[in-house]
Amino acid sequence: MLKEIDPLLNAEVLGALRAMGHGDDLIVADMNFPAESVARRTVLGRLLRIDAPSARVARAVLSVYPLDGFVDDGAARMEVIGEPSRVEPVAAEVQAEIDAGAGRPWPMIGIERYAFYERAKAAYAVIQTSERRFYGCFALRKGVIAPDA
């Protein structure tokens, strides 16, 4: 255990988050996502796991991970097939964690399912969660931490 580090963040996940640079993508995926095969194509090349729901994983990750504020797609969700503007409850829960972590509204963009798969393959890493609800898949682009003033 480490002080002020969320206990969900295991050593493998912390190592990957620390190694990532500005602009690298992290995918937080539900149980139905083809996480193992997609993760093999990422920069990290192997799957990370956190056995918790997507929103809880997002909260843990965002406690140490800055989102990229220089782009419009710093946070994204997989769109519902045929209803791209529909926001599933799991996405609303993750949106609340993103907003809380940022201290302000930080809207996620929607990404069509197959385009999301392509973004995931180009990501730095994939974390598979124990989320069983559909469309519990998110892309979080790493930002920067400003130097002390």
22: annotated active-site residue: yes
Place of tokens 């206990």: 7
6: annotated active-site residue: no
73: annotated active-site residue: no
- Per DSSP bridges, beta strands 138-141 and 109-111 are unpaired
Q: Choose the catalytic residue: 22, 51, 72, 114.
A: 22
HSE of 147, CA atoms in CB hemisphere, 13 A? 1
Nearest to 139 by CA among 131, 147, 122, 130: 122
Nearest to 110 by CA among 132, 69, 81: 81
The four Cα atoms 91, 47, 18, 53 give a dihedral, to 10 degrees, of: 30
Q: Choose the catalytic residue: 24, 25, 30, 68.
A: 68
Q: Choose the catalytic residue: 25, 30, 117, 135.
A: 117
Structure tokens at 116: 């999301």
Show which residues are catalytic.
22, 68, 117
